[in-house]
Chain A
């Protein structure tokens, strides 16, 4: 029993249960004292969940050091090398451990969110309702969206945490304790988000627009609270990334010698540092409206539901750039390695990430062309949105220029990077029709949007991140992943996904509405839905192969401790898995990062070699 309690995660969960119970008790007690009806399920659930999450981070020990500092004691970073595997189940300050913790949480969330999709995808294979009720369908559909988004945010944080300090030559992140805190906030937040299923679910979709969300079941409160807490974690983690990249670069690593992935991470962090506050605010305002009767979004009290959409999309549109910019950075990292050529137009690619992020702040209104937003805002938002295509085009141009006449090899990471380019191109080309007011009025809220969105997410996040996992797996474990199983994964997933999203867009053009549980058989899209369902399950099968591969390779994979990809990046110049504090000898940057194939060019020089 004591041994079980010493595992951080278990301790945290026990404390969370305790905190939730205590929160419900305290709130009920207060209500009793001030003379209100003692039991109100909604307030009790919200307060309990909030206190539970605080108890979790306390119980697991993520705030121990801060409490010690506040009490006036000295704190030191403990030696973690003796903890072995248990480092991954409790609070560790090592950015590599936190990165892998993030990665595992991300995969768990995405598997959960993906399974939700499989359930309602099966339901959609035929008209009428087969085995789900309307509320169940709506809850699964809404949760699929938000669980996936939180999963992607966590996955982005995984690679930023794992790679940024390594690529910069830093010992760790700038604020290791804050880093651990941000991760451990994401765990109770995910649990709260999923607990909405037990509290009646919710039927608002992932956007949670009022006035519908103002009268949805209590589950919607857990959705709002979970996302707010997860958002807080992202804000703190992006703060950490910016501080790290600005302060802890190796000697000689000037702005235009930074790896592209770090540029992408910086642009991403800039968005999540600032805009995330507004989705948190919009969600909290609906929570307050439900709890205290405040009339922000209630037209009966003079409130304005459109205001919610403005606040919400001010984050939620840039959020998709949060998801894709690190992924596009990974593509730019991998292509030169496998084409053995310099990255084409390095400076322009670096700047384009920032251009996308900055323009991204000015485009949110294109989600609201059909929702009653002020008329004169339509055209400016249309043009600002179309402008995003310019820096994105720079990236595609650079990728093609890099591949052009390269000596390309096709190991699994490269396959995924290339698939990422193709799928992101499909998503990119279907974007302008949604950004143009005239066509969007026809396409809005159809499967065309859903298909476009899934293309950008898979192209910008899912494929590049599988590429990254296959690429950096040896760095994490010292073994490489099985190539054959990797190829099976790829050939199951990539074609099935392209079929899936293309047909999705086709049904949208034919008039299939998004988010609905049932559709008219006279639309003639039943066949298409069957194909989509089969393709969806094939994608899932591919991911199952990946999970088996990961577990198998972790133990029995081919040992790979050296620079197996022949990369120039500093982390590959030392042995795998990475030593506990990264580099025993510091390195100096003496050349350009992506000059592959140029004789005599050097990127990093370790002090020892002098």
Chain B
């Protein structure tokens, strides 16, 4: 990244967002028309791969240490990255467990939900992920103003997502957690995810506050990177939860 110019990196980010948007649209179209569950299972995997590589920079884990001094910032940074990814691996098991429960309990049926709202919150989260990436890239190039701006947008979109799911969808859904199995699965999956979004919003808010006070620099901004990578991870989880809850299968009676 150091060798490429900032504008080309941002352009790449935009390109990835475009690809994600197209894939989401294809997903939605497939769900409305033929509803082949295999396709709806593969598309999230492609989306996740894009985000892992271009937004979360998974390849950074495999970069050799340039600095072998244990006490140096660079060495500790690489250790921190490893720690964060280990945490994400661990966390993905809880979401995996939820997915398996959903498949076991509901099979090829899905709860009755507002399609427009589902698509809307998905788009909101997708765009927030793009701005999160923009914030990180801006910081890495030392452009503080753009960093603050992008982070504020990310944070607002994150809060909007929470309002969309907990504030609107939970209230409008024609079932409660106790009504039927579909309700139980819906509330537990969105609940676990919303809790993670909530913690992500808190992290972003802390980073925004400290960013406003000028605590991060182009060289030292681990907190920015960590909160952004975590944010992307939450987005990736939603890539899988969205089709699982809204798209796959037929409506449960």
Contact = CB atoms under 8 A, between A and B. Distances in A.
Interface in B123-180: 177-178, 180
A278 B93 contact: yes
Interface in B178-206: 178, 180-181, 183-185, 187-188, 206
Contacts of B178: 292-295
Given A302-B105, A307-B101, A307-B105, A294 B184 contact: yes
B66 interface: no
Given A239-B83, A301-B180, A311 B97 contact: yes
Contact of B105 (A246, A273, A296, A314): A296
Contact of B215 (A72, A239, A278): A72
Interface stretch (A26-34, A280-288, A494-502, A528-536): A280-288
Looking at B83, B178, B185, B209, the one whose CB has the most chain A CB atoms below 10 A away is B83
Given A243-B86, A294-B177, A307-B104, A278 B184 contact: no
Report, as a range, how many residues of chain A touch the other chain. Answer: 35 or more
A589 B177 CA distance: 58
A277 B91 contact: yes
A302 B89 contact: no
B210 A274 contact: no
A561 interface: no
A230 B172 CA distance: 37
A209 to B, nearest CB: 16
B43 interface: no
A301 B181 contact: yes
B242 to A, nearest CB: 20
A218 interface: no
Given A72-B210, A273-B90, A295-B184, A175 B105 contact: no
Please tell me the size bucket of the interface on B. Answer: 20 to 34
Contacts of B97: 277-278, 281-282, 311, 314
A242 interface: yes
Given A248-B70, A302-B105, A311-B97, A294 B187 contact: yes
Interface string B25-58: 0000000000000000000000000000000000
A70 interface: yes
A302 B180 contact: yes
B201 to A, nearest CB: 14
A337 interface: no
Most interface-central of A178, A239, A280, A285 (chain B CB within 10 A): A239
B188 A285 contact: yes
A294 B183 CA distance: 8
B9 interface: no
Given A243-B86, A311-B101, A296 B94 contact: no
Interface in B101-131: 101, 104-105
A330 to B, nearest CB: 24
Interface string B69-106: 01000010011001100110111011001101100110
A275 interface: yes
Interface of B: 70, 75, 78-79, 82-83, 86-87, 89-91, 93-94, 97-98, 100-101, 104-105, 177-178, 180-181, 183-185, 187-188, 206, 209-210, 213, 215, 223
Interface of A: 69-70, 72, 171, 174-175, 178, 235, 239-240, 242-243, 246-248, 273-278, 280-282, 285, 288-289, 292-296, 301-304, 307, 310-311, 314
In order of increasing CB-CB distance, the 3 nearest A-B pairs are A293-B178, A294-B184, A277-B93
